[in-house]
């Protein structure tokens, strides 16, 4: 395979790649639809893994190239991205500041001390809790304070989702093309939780450069209006095209049917799906991101939307550390 555009970008090794592409035989049999394959990005390493590790390889590469000594990023209180950023900083010797916004209405007693927050602290990050409306101003003050103290901060956007970070999912697209060819998997449909848009944009851009054209179905888990997610994806795609134009048009597909009432609030279907896959396959998903993607996959199969498909691929984007602060959702 000839060199793709992302192979020339600064990149620091953080994860265990390629992640496995595993068949889920018992779930496939239970649903009676296509063979279900799981792209195990929960196994990417770096403090319980997850999809942000791929993005952080390029983002930390850019930070190192810029001469930064400190990483600063944003997320919800239980942000998987912030946890993986803290782990990347520890691995590479950066200082790390996390702006944790209270975006989710939960009264769990451990919500601001357990789950990912506990891991953030163990990884040595400085945590700054704030209300969502004040997060941007707080980050600006932190940057100014760090610079005044002689530090060189590098600001990473929420979710690691910009053109730099999205290159990590172009690499994932490349892995999937190679793995599907080696494992006799039909690269027809790829499903994943879609939120800050870097995962979906990177996949679409990567597949286009590779001459592959699977359906990439993003399951909206974060925005009350799915048009917001689509706009984010389009913006990142446009920025990626400035680096290397995609040779073919891409189709942005975002499904809003599994969102529920709000970001961070699990649906009954999500909880049921997490239980089903745990008991059939011994695999764990989270109720904020990946669990809603599983619920979407199960429902789409049950209503017959994949009746003509031989294979479907679900990307496990990680997130299981939050299960401990969502235990009340499984009662």
Using the predicted structure, report yes or no on whether residue 164 has a pLDDT greater than 70.
yes
Q: Per-domain residue ranges for the chain?
A: 5-50+162-330, 52-160
* Number of Cα atoms under 13 Å in the Cβ half of residue 96: 27
Question: Do the Cβ atoms of 48 and 82 come closer than 8 Å?
Answer: no
- Output the CATH code of domain 52-160: 3.40.50.1100
pLDDT digits (tens, 9 = 90+) for 255-284: 999 999 999 999 999 999 999 999 999 999
What pLDDT does residue 329 have? 95
Question: Do the Cβ atoms of 194 and 232 come closer than 8 Å?
Answer: no
Q: Which of 79, 194, 196, 222 is catalytic?
A: 79
* Active-site annotation holds for 290: no
Full DSSP string of 220-274: E-S-SSHHHHHHHHHHHHHHHHHHS--SS----EEE-TT--SSTT---HHHHHHH
pLDDT digits (tens, 9 = 90+) for 138-159: 999 999 999 999 999 999 999 9
Using the predicted structure, report yes or no on whether residue 115 has a pLDDT greater than 90.
yes
- State the average pLDDT over residues 27-42: 97
Using the predicted structure, report yes or no on whether residue 98 has a pLDDT greater than 70.
yes
pLDDT digits (tens, 9 = 90+) for 219-234: 999 999 999 999 999 9
Handedness of CA 198, 204, 207, 213 (dihedral sign): positive
Second CATH level (architecture) for the domain 5-50+162-330: 3-Layer(aba) Sandwich (3.40)
Structure confidence at residue 2 as a pLDDT band (50, 70, 90): low
Domains 5-50+162-330 and 52-160 equal at CATH topology level: yes
pLDDT digits (tens, 9 = 90+) for 41-92: 999 999 999 999 999 999 999 999 999 999 999 999 999 999 999 999 999 9
pLDDT digits (tens, 9 = 90+) for 302-318: 999 998 999 999 999 99
User: Strand 70-76's sheet: what is its strand order?
Assistant: 126-131, 95-102, 70-76, 153-156
Bridge partner list, 129: 100
Structure confidence at residue 1 as a pLDDT band (50, 70, 90): very low
């Amino acid at each position: 395979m000839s060199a793709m555009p992302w192979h020339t970008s600064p990149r620091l090794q953080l994860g265990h790649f390629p992640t496995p592409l595993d068949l889920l035989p018992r779930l496939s049999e239970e649903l009676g639809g296509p063979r279900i394959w799981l792209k195990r990005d929960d196994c990417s390493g770096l403090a319980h893994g997850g999809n942000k590790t791929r993005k952080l390889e390029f983002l930390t590469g850019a930070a190192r190239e810029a001469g930064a000594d400190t990483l600063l990023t944003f997320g919800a209180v239980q942000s998987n991205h912030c946890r993986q950023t803290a782990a990347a900083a520890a691995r590479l010797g950066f200082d790390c500041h996390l702006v944790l916004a209270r975006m989710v209405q939960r009264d769990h007693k451990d919500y601001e001390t357990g789950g990912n927050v506990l891991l953030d602290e163990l990884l040595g990050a400085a945590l700054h809790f704030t209300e969502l409306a004040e997060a941007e101003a707080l980050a600006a003050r932190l940057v100014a304070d760090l610079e005044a103290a002689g530090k060189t901060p590098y600001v990473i956007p929420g979710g690691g989702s910009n053109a730099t970070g999205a290159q990590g999912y172009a690499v994932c697209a490349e892995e999937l093309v190679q793995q599907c060819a080696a494992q006799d998997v039909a690269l027809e449909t790829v499903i994943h939780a879609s939120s800050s848009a870097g995962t979906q944009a990177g996949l679409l851009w990567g597949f286009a450069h590779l001459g592959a054209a699977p359906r990439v179905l993003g399951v909206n888990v974060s925005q009350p209006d799915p048009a917001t997610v689509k706009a984010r994806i389009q913006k990142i795609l446009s920025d990626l095209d400035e680096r290397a134009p995609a040779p073919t048009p891409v189709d942005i597909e975002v499904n809003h049917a599994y969102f529920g009432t709000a970001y961070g609030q699990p649906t009954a279907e999500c909880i049921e799906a997490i239980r089903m896959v745990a008991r059939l396959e011994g695999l764990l998903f989270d109720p904020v991101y990946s669990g809603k993607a599983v619920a979407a996959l199960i429902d789409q199969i049950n209503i017959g939307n994949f009746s003509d498909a031989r294979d479907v691929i679900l990307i496990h984007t990680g997130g299981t550390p939050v299960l401990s602060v969502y235990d009340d959702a499984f009662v």
